[in-house]
A and B are shown apart, each in its own frame.
Chain A
Amino acid sequence: MLQHIIDSSHLFRPETALTATFCVVLLVDLFLRKRTSMPAYVAVLGLVVTGWFIAAQYGGAPATLFSNMLAVDPFSIFFKSLTLASTLVIVLFSLQSNELRDSKRMMGEYYALLVSLTLGMFLMAGATNLIMMYLSIELTSMSSYILSAFTKEADDSSEASLKYVIFGAVSSGLMLYGMSILYGLTGSLDIYGINRALIAGNVNNVTLLISVVLMTAGFGYKISAVPFHFWTPDVYEGAPLPVTAFLSVASKAAGFAMMMRFFKVTFIDAAVGGSYLGSWISVPGFEWNHLLAILAVLSMTIGNLIAVWQTNLKRLLAYSSIAHAGYLLLGVVVLSNEGYAAVLIYLAVYFFMNLGAFFAVMMVANKIGSEHIDDYKGLGYRSPLLGVCFTILLLSLTGIPPTAGFVGKLYLFSALLNAKWIWLAVVAALNSVISLYYYLRILRNMFLTQPDPAGAPIRFGAVQIVILLMFVIPTILLGVYFGPLVQYAQASITMFTNR
């Protein structure tokens, strides 16, 4: 056993580095009070070291660590890389954010919590045991609760955080209840053990259905799918913008990683066809992917419909991210390798376009102090560069060629059509059209209305422009040259199987 633990620790290096970074960043504030950006730099150093350890894990054979608690396989490495990239970007955002600078608080805890949030997401991406799934969700959630309450002087921040805590605690309570029923049915907390018990049969389907419905409550909360999305608009609006951006991309990706791994390993009996187009056979029981299809349709429709009314940019982007969770769920519903690869492609693309959109909103909020859509009138004239960049990002979010968003949707639709889910593809296409309306409303305000006479041209700092281009350029680039990304995603859907 001791040897097993020592062997596992070798593959656990990224998470160990993150934990060490967390502790060091907390202490930096204590010893180096004068330099307010020091915690950020220490955090970046720690994250770079973590990234180096992850890179060292590339190409290794899939394995599980610590008695089947955590898996290290191409799937988890993909998500860990995505999360790490998000964290580095968010540290950059936080350094540029006026909102955080004006709170005049020591930032050591903020960066330490960002690192612990990253650790939670790493664990979510690899968890193969129900206890680890619960603990990693709680680690992520707790760091998020605190981070969203960071600017607590603002009234809406603590209110948003309270709603987040209550909703998150209830959802994880529901999920835990589902886990307890699953444990009672199968006698095992390890998803491989559960899979074996389900294949062996004689499990009551109704009880299994209830347990999966309850667990989906927890997963749905993490990925902001309807009807577990109620926290999303409030928290996205009330939390500081870098935190919102982080939650919208990385937290959703980690939630999807955990959900995809859970559903695939627990409920799939065998994989038919070795290529990436192969489809799967489910364990006899109920059709869980129909349950997820309902969630997907609700998320897309309700997310897009409510976004049409929104006037606060952050809230609009929150509802749009609910809709995107719906699109992503479609890839899981399809039950094929192609569908999973499509989800990974879409998440990679979503990283660029969503973080870019949030950064553009932050740049504007820094300068004009508002996130209201009416204050975007004439922005295209006052700052053409921002207008054009934001336009590209919004078109990508809608899914219009030749942007990266179109590539993501292309692969999702192709997976749906190959698996004969025609009606879902039609619903998704209609929803993309609805989303076009509210994204174009922003564009109309920016370019087709004249600015106030008092509106002077806005100049943005060079650093901010460079960061924005860091998102816009890949959005266009991936729209035309997406081969490597697709190949990488298709290679990354390999999960550790305990056969």
Chain B
Amino acid sequence: MSLFDIAFYFFALITVASAALVVFSRNIIYSAFALLFTFFGVAGLYALLGADFVAVAQLLIYVGGILVLLLFGVMLTTKLVSVDMKTGTLQALPATLLFAAVAGALSGVYIITDWNVLAGAPDAATTAVTIGDMFLTTWLLPFEIASVVLLVALVGAAMIARRDARSKPTQQAAL
């Protein structure tokens, strides 16, 4: 078992265990931090797959952006009077069955499919230069449209989340 394989199993274990913790934990703060570890695990897997640009982008965007935003959301929407961060119940048996069904079916299909895998060792070059080139030549239009998407999200989120002068008065000034 080479170091490469050990690293794969290590990151895979972190990812799956953290994902399970996110979904099944009753404490929302535990879920948020487990999500952090999931993102790290996935970033490690990207690095093992030779996608260096994507791995770093994962850390910057998901951990640095989305996770921080989720933590803000968690902190802003729990009532200050109660320290109970527990969330609702879930039925264990149907969830496990559904999980086994979905994961099993998909994995089974993947294993029996004959993928046209490229023979030989994959190219070990860094991908950042290639991807950068592609963004400005072949994939120019999606790149520009993605920027419009981000602008729309910016405008919209600011518009929805802001407190208007004439909004309904709330009982607590927590927000």
A residues adjacent to B (C-beta < 8 A): 1, 5, 8, 19, 22, 26, 65-67, 69-70, 104-105, 109, 112-113, 116, 119, 123, 129, 131-132, 135-136, 138-139, 142-143, 145-146, 149, 152-153, 184-185, 187, 202, 204, 206-207, 210
Would you call B167 and A153 a contact (CB within 8 A)?
A: yes
Would you call A149 and B145 a contact (CB within 8 A)?
A: no
Partner of B140 from the list A5, A22, A204 (CB cut-off 8 Å) is A5
A-B contact pairs, 22 of them (CB 8 A): A1-B137, A66-B140, A67-B137, A67-B139, A69-B141, A112-B155, A113-B156, A131-B142, A132-B141, A135-B145, A139-B145, A142-B149, A142-B152, A145-B156, A146-B156, A184-B115, A185-B115, A204-B112, A206-B113, A207-B109, A210-B105, A210-B109
Would you call B148 and A22 a contact (CB within 8 A)?
A: yes
B86: interface (CB < 8 Å): no
A172 → chain B closest CB, angstroms: 12
B122 → chain A closest CB, angstroms: 14
Given known A104-B166, A143-B152, A146-B159, contact A131–B139 (CB-CB < 8 A): yes
Would you call A135 and B155 a contact (CB within 8 A)?
A: no
B97: interface (CB < 8 Å): no
Inter-chain CA distance A129–B140, complex, in Å, is 13
Q: Which residues of B contact A5 (CB under 8 A)?
A: 137, 140
Main secondary structure of the interface of A (DSSP, over half): helix
Would you call B152 and A113 a contact (CB within 8 A)?
A: yes
Would you call A123 and B159 a contact (CB within 8 A)?
A: no
Inter-chain CA distance A68–B152, complex, in Å, is 25
Q: Which residues of B contact A136 (CB under 8 A)?
A: 145
B114: interface (CB < 8 Å): yes
Would you call B156 and A143 a contact (CB within 8 A)?
A: yes
Given known A146-B159, A206-B109, contact A139–B152 (CB-CB < 8 A): yes
Would you call B148 and A65 a contact (CB within 8 A)?
A: no
B116: interface (CB < 8 Å): yes
18 new A-B contacts, CB < 8 A, other than A5-B137, A109-B155, A204-B114, are A8-B141, A22-B148, A65-B141, A67-B137, A67-B139, A67-B141, A104-B166, A109-B156, A135-B145, A135-B149, A139-B152, A142-B152, A146-B160, A153-B167, A185-B113, A185-B115, A202-B114, A210-B105
Would you call A204 and B145 a contact (CB within 8 A)?
A: no
Main secondary structure of the interface of B (DSSP, over half): helix
B153: interface (CB < 8 Å): yes
Inter-chain CA distance A108–B112, complex, in Å, is 54
Q: Which residues of A contact B137 (CB under 8 A)?
A: 1, 5, 67
Q: Which residues of B contact A22 (CB under 8 A)?
A: 148
Inter-chain CA distance A498–B166, complex, in Å, is 56
B23: interface (CB < 8 Å): no
Would you call B152 and A152 a contact (CB within 8 A)?
A: no
B138: interface (CB < 8 Å): yes
Would you call B159 and A109 a contact (CB within 8 A)?
A: yes
Q: Which residues of A contact B156 (CB under 8 A)?
A: 109, 113, 142-143, 145-146
Closest 9 CB pairs of A and B: A146-B156, A66-B141, A69-B141, A204-B113, A207-B113, A67-B138, A109-B159, A131-B142, A1-B137
Residue of B nearest to A68 (CB): B138
Would you call B115 and A149 a contact (CB within 8 A)?
A: no
Would you call B153 and A123 a contact (CB within 8 A)?
A: no
Would you call B155 and A26 a contact (CB within 8 A)?
A: yes
Partner of A70 from the list B106, B141, B146 (CB cut-off 8 Å) is B141
B126 → chain A closest CB, angstroms: 22
B84: interface (CB < 8 Å): no
B159 → chain A closest CB, angstroms: 5
Q: Which residues of A contact B112 (CB under 8 A)?
A: 204, 206
Q: Which residues of A contact B157 (CB under 8 A)?
A: 146
Which of chain B's residues 55-77 have a Cβ closer than 8 Å to chain A? none
Would you call B160 and A19 a contact (CB within 8 A)?
A: no
Inter-chain CA distance A105–B158, complex, in Å, is 14
Residue of B nearest to A204 (CB): B113
B51 → chain A closest CB, angstroms: 14
Q: Indicate with 1 or 0, residue by residue over B142-175, a CB within 8 angstroms of chain A CB atoms.
A: 1001101100110111011000101110000000
Q: Which residues of A contact B113 (CB under 8 A)?
A: 185, 204, 206-207
Q: Which residues of A contact B145 (CB under 8 A)?
A: 123, 132, 135-136, 139
Q: Indicate with 1 or 0, residue by residue over B92-116, a CB within 8 angstroms of chain A CB atoms.
A: 0000000000000110011011111
A128 → chain B closest CB, angstroms: 11
Given known A113-B156, A116-B152, A135-B149, contact A187–B116 (CB-CB < 8 A): yes
A238 → chain B closest CB, angstroms: 14
Would you call B160 and A132 a contact (CB within 8 A)?
A: no
Would you call A142 and B142 a contact (CB within 8 A)?
A: no
Q: Which residues of B contact A69 (CB under 8 A)?
A: 139, 141-142
B46 → chain A closest CB, angstroms: 14
A89 → chain B closest CB, angstroms: 22
Q: Which residues of A contact B115 (CB under 8 A)?
A: 184-185
Would you call B152 and A153 a contact (CB within 8 A)?
A: no
Inter-chain CA distance A67–B136, complex, in Å, is 12
Inter-chain CA distance A113–B160, complex, in Å, is 13
Inter-chain CA distance A119–B151, complex, in Å, is 13
A116 → chain B closest CB, angstroms: 5
Residue of B nearest to A210 (CB): B109
